[in-house]
Structure 1
Amino acid sequence: MPSLLKSLFGKSEEPLVSSALPEAMAPQKQHVTGHIGHRRRDCWWDPIYSPTLDGSLTEGDWDFDQTAGPSQKFFIGQHLDGVVSRGDTFKVVGVTFKDCDFQGVFDSDTLFMFDRCRFVGCDFAYSSWKDTHFRNCEFENCSFALSHFNRCEFRGNKFNSIGISGSKSDFERSFVTNPQALIDAGASRAEGEKPKVRKRLYQWHRLQGSKAHLSRTLLASHNLVGDDHTFYKTAKLHDLQQSKAKIASNFFELIFSESRGRFAALVSLLLNLAENGLLRVVGLLNGWGSSAFRPLLGIALLWSAFGWAYLHLFDTAQPWRKSFNITILAGYSNEYVDTITPGLNTAQSFHAVLAVIFYTVFFGTVIAKLSRVR
């Protein structure tokens, strides 16, 4: 299957890049001991943007027995080392985290389990998680930008308005049961209380690029972990999101014509729309690579449909034989040229084209499934 790709958002009206994380500050490489950064003050495009909270968060306690959930707290991963025992499971059940920041390395040789928790306005930037499970949790107005998840699982979670960074939302050998929901929840704001249309469209088309990048990250992760069903579901998400990102970019260029002319943008837009349609058709035929039976069934239905047409619409001799020969492509030759029956030659040509498409998809899918390691 063809695939497409890339982009992301950030600050100002230049091509947006979300605040790049300096190498020295990467959470997996630095021992974070206190709250770092001013993302709530500076990242106006992110759902967690709230200048009034900048500098006001206090360190939270991992003991939630006396509270329904922490609010306006920050949690440092390394500080868990004295709370949990190596080899144990640290489970947090039914806790609501509101306007909280998670930073540092959450890797204490233990299994973290967040079960039926809610994260509202939480920022996961500058954090690195390992062997963490989020099960039946809700994420609302949160940000996964500048975060890293290694050998983590997201099962049955709900996502609503999530900040993402195409190249800095990293999922490594991590499993997300509903990747479509995560991508669809990606959000980006335009600067200002009443942003102009141009700013809104700019943020929108850059966001599609970020989603495309994240979908590729998820596909690469699901290539190593998870079940086949989720892998092919992610493959569909990836291919369509890459195409959508290109279409969004072409649409923006067509209206505002920044880096090239409107005519070139229009041509690219039409070509990418056609490619999107082709992707959907081929994806429907083989289940986005998951099913070799679908195109085989399509070949059988093609033989039946045109056999009926040759019998009832064109009244040809041996209609089922004719349909079989053309369907398997071996019998399509000049012997079927008919200058008397109106439309028969056109129908036969159309029949042959469809047969070529079905056979190409069928053999391509079978070869890919048998000869390629997922």
Structure 2
Amino acid sequence: MITQKKLESLVNVDKINISFSSFDKNGAVEEAWLNCNDKTSEIYKQFSSQFFGDRLSLTLGPIVKSHNKEYFSKRNQFRAWEGCFDLRESDNKLTLYPGEVVSVSTQERIKLSSDIAATTIPRLSNADSGLLYVPSYIDPYWDGILQAVIINVTDNIQELELGEKIAICRFYETDGDISDNDKDRFPGKSHHLGNNWKKIISESSNPFPTKKQPVGRSTAFSKLLLKIKSKWKSILGFSVGGSSFLYLIFYLGSLHEKLNKLELSQEKLVAFQEVVKKQAEKVGELSEVTAISGVETLTLKKGDDFSTKLFSIKRPFSKISSIWTKYDSSKKLKVIGKFTKDPMNDDVTKVLLEVHSDKPFLKTEQIDITWMLVN
């Protein structure tokens, strides 16, 4: 791997080039290339602060793309790009919700010659917190900002800031040069080669071009079938008119083997539910309904359009639970309740309450939400 002194010598002969971008809320982008001969410049000082030993710290850029449709409404969409949002519109903060997957790009732009390559590696401090960064590689002849994926694998809401260190980059010299023919092939192999912040912000380029496209969205039914085939003890829970719930508790037993032989379609859902119900009654696994409830106070901050609260209750987690919520309906808010298992304690269930509004709150106030967990 290449140390700082060696890297600076390679920068001086244009084998490695690194630029740092800065942004403002008006949309202006300033890009400055590293000049290692001017050690008094602000860019060199920034480079030195981000380089340690044999690694360059990579920092979070302003445009992020969420892959979880349920979180799209929590942020203002960035131009015409679905799922994308600008951290500068959210106090320069990236809020990652439980289980959320996001694509990010680095503030740094890297440009390499034919005999230099690099790899990106996660920061252990983020990984220890449950934020997984998918590592990647940088080919010779690369020129552009670096794209990556971060996954919040925890049940907690987590936060990163614009410019925060999210990964490290290690450079190395290849054993021989890459041919010019390979240089011409790279644009066809990489879907985001050449992307930079001026293109994205000033010229409206796609911030996260993709090569592989989804074949379609999963329906609620297909997700249910996947859970069943994974041998879950599960529920079928639906809300009707926002005020009533249909829940069906069952144990799979021998039904799992039968499901593998069935050709299920959306139109057969009702008939399938009846099969499940009868099988559950046959094996005597319908559970007795019990409930636990409480009241939580959420603070609605002026200017925000949503608020959340995560808390724990001393009750064994059950995959056959539903959650009800009740609040002052005159406020015209949407309240969502979620629950999940505490990874550290089987006797504790975590509950997440979310309050959403179509418009920003006009003033800071509090709202009491009554909740009830049923199994």
- TM-score normalised according to structure 2 size: 0.24
Q: Which has the higher helix share?
A: 1
Q: Which has the higher strand share?
A: 2
